[in-house]
Each structure stands twice: as C-alpha cells, then as structure tokens.
C-alpha cells in the first residue's frame, strides 16, 4: 500500500495594536520529504497535497477527507 503523510498545524496569532480580529496561520508539511509551506488560509492545502496524491494515482482535486474513525481497518 502506498500512502502519503502530511502534518498540518494551525494557530491563532494575537491581534495587532489596533485591536482587530485575531488572524489564523498554519503550516503543512509532507513528512517523508520534509517539504513544508506556511499558510495564511487553508484554501491552499489541496494545492500543496495534490502533486503527492497524483503520484498515488489520485488525479482529482476534489478528494474527500475522512476522519480516523471512518477509515476501514
């Protein structure tokens, strides 16, 4: 079985001196290669993951995420 492993971290940064809304930031890392990208929104997660998924034969950007309790064991 071929699998890819990604680590996604999301955190909240304090709002600036103007008292604006807090901002969220993130980082996604491809665990086997160590390649990582810092994020200002989660919309680019699939863009980062897609080349690795294509290596597995997954060619559609609209893949579905499953929680760990939905996976077949």
Query: Do 16 and 23 meet the contact criterion of CB atoms below 8 Å apart?
Result: no
Confidence of residue 5 (pLDDT cuts 50, 70, 90): very high
Segments making up each domain of the chain, as ranges: 6-60
What confidence tens digit (pLDDT) does each residue in 37-63 have? 999 888 888 889 988 988 888 876 566
Q: Is the pTM of this model over 0.75?
A: no
Average pLDDT, the chain: 81
């Amino acid at each position: 079985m071929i699998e890819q492993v990604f680590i996604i971290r999301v955190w909240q940064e304090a709002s600036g001196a103007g008292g604006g809304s807090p901002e969220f930031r993130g980082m996604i890392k491809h665990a086997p290669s160590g390649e990582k990208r810092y994020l200002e929104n989660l919309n680019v997660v699939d863009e980062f993951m897609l080349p690795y998924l294509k290596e597995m034969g997954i060619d559609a950007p609209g893949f579905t995420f499953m929680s760990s309790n939905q996976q077949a064991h």
